[in-house]
Homo-oligomer: A and B are copies of this chain.
């Protein structure tokens, strides 16, 4: 089966495998692109992670994740910016095509979402020169509105693109079907995004969803119309991979990694 233009976000097998095991598993399955998480790279060591990835000829379609800019005081906001600077360096070291950004929610104790959004904009502006210098595009990922309080006050593709408009070159978006499938403006905003689409994550919305963070579905098991969204993204000019990213504590994280990857490939070919 075809694995061209398929990438595996390594969160999908995070409970089963180390970074090395995941890369080896992908290679066995004929998958040639991955997106690792920072904790996975840190556990392996950055240089060793870069070597493993290079030795297996893996394309790195993204690096997860930077962001989390809002904080209750300036010192903590500066610390978040410093941490994002390091994430950019790590992304460059492993040859990632973009740094995926989960922008952050409300600061502890705050009810000021407009203020949080301003902190996101300021944080992005602060790290952008370094991202440009390192040639690491920043991919703003709008998250589902149910995460607006605690993970990302950027909830829609429209809002993410407004930030891109304000910030200029070097910033784009990561479009994850799980987060945006419900949006009545999705088609129009994907068209607006054009060449700023840096990543396309795929994951299904289950009915019922039993856990707000860790009950995401394998493509085909939920209600998302993947071919329709894919057509819009292709029409916008995107030619990159579809990257499977599934958080699934009760199901896919409990299965053997090889079975998970085999299912990703099958569904990528039959559903997406």
Residues of A within 8 A of B (CB): 106, 110-113, 117, 144-146, 148-150, 153, 155-156, 158-159, 181-185, 205, 207-209, 212, 222-225
Contacts and interface: CB of A to CB of B under 8 A. Distances in A.
15 contacts: A111-B223, A113-B181, A144-B146, A145-B145, A145-B183, A146-B209, A148-B181, A149-B222, A150-B208, A155-B184, A156-B184, A158-B184, A159-B184, A208-B212, A209-B212
A68 B264 CA distance: 34
Copies in the complex: 2
Contacts of A223: 106, 110-111, 149
Contact of A117 (B150, B184, B207): B184
Contacts of A205: 149
Contacts of A110: 223
A109 to B, nearest CB: 9
A117 B110 CA distance: 35
B159 A225 contact: no
Contacts of A158: 184-185
A148 B149 CA distance: 19
A230 B107 CA distance: 22
State the 3 A-B residue pairs at the shortest beta-carbon distance, nearest first. Answer: A148-B182, A111-B225, A145-B182
Nearest to A115: B225
B207 A149 contact: yes
B182 A113 contact: yes
Contacts of A208: 150, 212
A158 B111 CA distance: 23
Nearest to A112: B225
A115 to B, nearest CB: 10
Contacts of A156: 184
Contacts of A155: 182-184
A179 to B, nearest CB: 9
A146 B149 contact: no
Contacts of A112: 225
Given A155-B184, A159-B184, 17 more contacts: A111-B224, A111-B225, A113-B182, A113-B225, A145-B146, A146-B146, A146-B209, A149-B182, A149-B205, A149-B222, A150-B207, A155-B182, A155-B183, A158-B184, A158-B185, A209-B212, A212-B212
Nearest to A208: B150
Nearest to A180: B145
A99 B205 CA distance: 30
